[in-house]
Structure formats: structure tokens, C-alpha cells
Amino acid sequence: MSFEYIQSALAARHAEGLLRKRIVVEKASASRIQIADQQYINFASNDYLGLADSLEFNTLVCTEAGSRSSALVTGYLDIHRQLEDKLCSVLGYDAALLFPSGFAANTSVLKALFTPQEKQLSAAVFQDKLNHASLLDGGLAGCAKFVRFNHNNLTHLRSRLEKTKADSKLIVTEGVFSMDGDQAPVSEISVLAKSHSAWLMVDDAHAFGAVGAQGLGTIESGIKPEILVITFGKAMGCQGAAVLANHDVINYMMQFNREFIYTTALSPIMASVALCQLNRLLAASEARHKLQVNIDYFKWLVAQTNLSPIPSDTAIQPLVYGSSENVLAAQHKLKEKGLWVGAIRPPTVPQNTARLRITITAQHSHEDIDKLVSALVEGA
């Protein structure tokens, strides 16, 4: 029977405890969430600085809802240019391109970069095994040889680079890993890249805004990847993404990136929100300090218990439970104590590493963190 596999795939997901469901959120902030009339302390938000819910709409320079067309027809408005210019000047790049999501930016850039305009392409893309699905999908969709290296393992990456005969080589990593919270050794990767004449692409989705005194993520460590991806849905607290690179790369994307060419340009009101949020993020040094204080406090508290989260210095503090059943049970117990934490299961994370993905934000109080750690110790 046609499409019979839909039923069997759903049944298999259910049987393995891997079925995903949406929940309706009635109200949320970086640190609170209301679901089915119940209030919870929210430890599942990527709104690290607490910027998502307090925008003043009268500060927007443009409130047009729609761009009416793709960017290459008539959809590229002055507000888009302003946002790109601001990102370029802050991050030190020649040019930028806006996308409606980080997923679209990542997949399409990798696909376009490795879609040969000539018949032969001697290229290889080297990806950390824990890279985000959008990066892996983009790498698999392009025509470059797809090579994965063990997570943050420079020796493995070096040996992979030494073996390749490709002319064009790109190393792709996340700045802060979304499900592990640890940071890529970008300085060392950048040295390796240079010594093998490879380019570097960094997805700074979880670093931008949250990492570095000014919140500039990878750039603040003195590294300038050839391609940098910034998403607006995490610390910027809105939606969309930007790809930053030199003029040639951005110009190439404008010619060959199908997700950029054949889509309606980012809504002008969202570009305006993003510009406003970018300015707020850059000025949010107090929130960044508070975020760091909260991360340090969580780590300090946890160090006095028998809990052992994946080592991470960032806002993402994952606690591995192994099986999906165990992590769902832990999540349920936390819920009963008024705490909301994301339970992340395969295939988002590798088999037997289902985890609670705890995210700390600047809006949490020490009492919130006390409650979480006590509940975790009590056996959630």
C-alpha cells in the first residue's frame, strides 16, 4: 500500500519513546513559562540575555509587514541593507546576506558552495561529528567529499586533512555546540586550516551575544572564519540569520544559492526587529555579566553534588541520562516540581546519550538555580 511507511515509522518512534509532540506555550520569558495553566521556571530557552520579550515597538524604524518579493527582484529594502551593514561593521566583514532562518542559511550556503559550476569539483568539507543537522544536511547535499571528524578532536581533523587530495577544503564547526554546550577550539582549528590551505566556516548560533565580553562570539577570540553564520533566534531573541564573508563569496551566493534566490526576502518588520535587537544585544553587557554569574553559580552548585553534566562553560549545561525513558522520567519529575527543562533524545543526539539540555539565562535568579539543582539531586 502506498505511504504505508508513515504509520510504521510513527509506530516505531512511539515504541522507542522517541515520538515528538508540540506543546502550546501560553506565556513565556527567558526564565518563566506557562503551559496548561501551570507556571514553571524555564530552563529550556535560548533567550540567553532575556531580550525576546521586551522589545518596544515604537523603536522600530520600519514596520512594513512584507517585502513583497525575493531579494533579487524588489524585496531588498533599505532596512535589510542597514541590518547587513551593521553586522558587517560589528563583526568586521565585507558583506552579508540575510536568511529567514539559521537552518536555511547553513544548508543553502554549503549546498551552493559545493555545487560545481564546472563539471569537475575537487573539494572536501570536513565537519565535526556533532555539528547541527543544518550543517550536516548542507554538507551531504553538496558535491564535495563529505568527511566527518570526531568531536573537537584536532588530531583526527589533522589526519583527515593530511589524507585529502581535494583542492578546495572547508572545515565546518559550531562555535558553541548546541546540544553539548562546549566550545570548538577555533584558534587551533584556524591554525590547522591555514596550514592546509583550508577555509573555515563557523556557525555561531549559540555564541553570538552570549560569548565574549562584547558578545561577539568567535570573532572576539581573534579568529575571523572565511564564512561566519549568525542566527537571530537565540541571544538576539527574534528570528532570521546572516551569513558573513568576503564580497566574492557573498556575490557567489547571490548567483547560486537557491534558498536565497527563490524565496521572499526576510520580512522588513523582522529585519527591523533584528536591527533593534542587535543594538540591544551589543549594549547588554550587564545581562552578559549576569549570565556569566549564573553559569558560574550553577557550575559551583553542581560541583558540590554527584551530578556530572557534560563539561561546559556556556549557558548550555547538558546532563546525560542515557536512555530516552530515563530522560523523559527525569523531565517529568522536574515538571512536577515546577521546573521546565528540554529532554533531548536521538536522533538529535547520539544513541544512548539522551539528555536534559539545561539552559541558563541572565534572567534566572540564584533561587531558581537552587531549585533546579536540588530537584536534580533529589533524583529527577
Ligand X SMILES: Cc1ncc(COP(=O)(O)O)c(C=O)c1O
For ligand X, give the closer residue by CB, 270 or 380: 270
* Three-class DSSP category at 137: helix
Output Rg (C-alpha) for the chain, integer angstroms: 21
DSSP, res 310:
P
Report the SS3 class of residue 328. Answer: helix
Q: How many helices (H) and strands (E) does the chain have?
A: 12, 14
Between CA 16 and CA 346 the distance in angstroms is 10
Q: For ligand X, which residue has the nearest CB?
A: 102
Considering the candidates 46, 108, 190, 324, report the single residue annotated as catalytic. Answer: 46
Contacting ligand X within 266-295 (CB under 6 A): none
> ∠219-311-181 over CA atoms, to 5°?
45
Tell me the window of 96-104, 121-129, 183-191, 279-287 that interacts with ligand X (CB under 6 A). 96-104
318 three-state secondary structure: strand
Neighbours of 85 (CB within 10 A): 13
Q: Which is nearer to ligand X, 232 or 371 (CB)?
A: 232
Site string for ligand X, 121-150 (x = CB under 6 A): -----------x-x----------------
DSSP character at residue 309: P
241 binds ligand X (CB under 6 A): yes
Q: Does residue number 101 form part of the binding site for ligand X (CB under 6 A)?
A: yes
Task: Find the shortest distance in angstroms from Cβ 85 to ligand X.
Answer: 21
C-alpha dihedral sign at 142, 144, 148, 151? negative
The catalytic position among 67, 128, 131, 132 is 132
* Amino acid identity at 303: A
Q: Which of 45, 107, 218, 231 binds ligand X (CB under 6 A)?
A: 231
Triad 81, 87, 89: Cα angle to 5°: 100
Residue 240 or 309: the one with the smaller Cβ distance to ligand X is 240
List Cβ neighbours of 176 (8 Å cut-off, separation of 6 or more): 182, 183, 184, 204, 205, 206, 207, 210, 211, 217, 314, 316
Query: Of 203-211, 296-304, 305-313, 359-367, which segment contacts ligand X by CB under 6 A?
Result: 203-211
233 binds ligand X (CB under 6 A): yes
- Beta carbon nearer to ligand X, 274 or 354: 274
Shorter beta-carbon distance to ligand X: residue 349 or 376: 349
Instruction: Mark whether 324 is an active-site residue.
Output: no
Rounded to a whole number of angstroms, the minimum distance from the CB of residue 110 to ligand X is 12
CB of 368 to ligand X, least distance (A): 23
How near is the Cβ of 194 to ligand X at its closest, in Å?
24
User: Following DSSP, what letter does each residue of 322-346 receive, concatenated?
Assistant: ESHHHHHHHHHHHHHTTEE-EEE-T
Residue 192 CA to residue 58 CA, distance in Å, equals 48
Annotation says 178 is catalytic: yes
DSSP symbol at 311: P
Is residue 119 among the annotated active site residues?
A: no
Q: Which residues pair with 99 in a beta bridge?
A: 241
CA distances from 275 to 16, 89, 237 (A): 43, 13, 11
| 259 contributes a contact to ligand X by CB under 6 A | no
The answer to whether the beta carbons of residues 257 and 104 sit under 8 Å apart is: no
Rule CB under 6 A: say whether 345 interacts with ligand X.
no
Site membership for ligand X, residue 209 (CB under 6 A): no
Interface with ligand X includes 84 (CB under 6 A)?
A: no
To the query of whether residue 206 is one of the catalytic residues in this protein, the response is yes
70 part of the active site: no
If binding is defined by CB under 6 A, does position 203 make contact with ligand X?
A: yes
Question: What phi, psi does 264 have (nearest 5°)?
Answer: -65, 135
Selected catalytic residue, list 174, 180, 182, 368:
174
Among 80, 111, 206, 364, the active-site one is: 206
* Contact positions vs ligand X (CB under 6 A): 101-103, 106, 132, 134, 174, 178, 203, 205-206, 231, 233, 241
Catalogue the active-site residues: 46, 132, 174, 178, 203, 206, 234
